[in-house]
A = this chain, B = another copy of it.
Amino acid sequence: MKIAVIGAGRMGAALGRLWAKAGHAVVLCDVRPIEELEALAREIGHGTRAAHAQEAVADSDVILLAVPWASIRDALARCGSLAGKVVIDVINPHKSDFSDLEIGFTTSASEEIAKLAPGAKVCKALNTLPSPVFNLPECKVSGMKVSGFYCGDDEQAKQIVAQLVSDAGFDPVDCGPLSSARYLEAAGMLLIRIVVALKASPELALTLVRQDKPCC
């Protein structure tokens, strides 16, 4: 797949790296100077490039949105039209002090993005995973392959997202329609609360364990 990474911070760069390694054509986009991005792209290798958002989006099948929630409108404006694109939203819309979510219950970051980007096939994915997990060997936590939760309203887009979740090293878990993003974003916030309460390393994950399917 041709994947445009919008926001090449810790999360975006880590996912871009995993997908590039898995053989996808990755383009990094960010508000940082293009020279910095080009250096990061060279370091990632596997043909990874840097480009301006609008050019990268026009040339890609899949768009990863990995910017802070506060920057989402600016980021979407830089992208231009996302109509027909598979859009993977990994954003947790928490307050800047990480204390709580900014939005939720009757909506979610993903649902707001779907409203702002008409025609885009928006899916939520991988938002419950703290970015340090993406840097663990094979993304395994304590030796265990962990869940990559995703949801969306477009079945074809969801199949692509499930494959990309798997390519990144996670066990894809379908959470239903896009409105499940409300619960996935809350689960992301729960994990922040747990890290704070346990004073734990953020190398942790919530994973689904099923009696009818062996886990480890």
Contacts and interface: CB of A to CB of B under 8 A. Distances in A.
B212 A203 contact: yes
Interface residues of A, number: 48
Interface in A164-216: 173-176, 179-180, 182-184, 186-187, 189-190, 193-194, 196-198, 200-201, 203-216
Nearest to A211: B203
A209 B204 contact: yes
Contact of A142 (B104, B141, B189, B210): B210
A146 interface: yes
Contact of A212 (B174, B175, B179, B200): B200
A208 B192 CA distance: 12
Contact of A206 (B106, B206, B213): B206
A183 B180 contact: no
A204 B211 contact: yes
Interface of A: 100-101, 104-106, 133, 136, 141-144, 146, 149, 151, 173-176, 179-180, 182-184, 186-187, 189-190, 193-194, 196-198, 200-201, 203-216
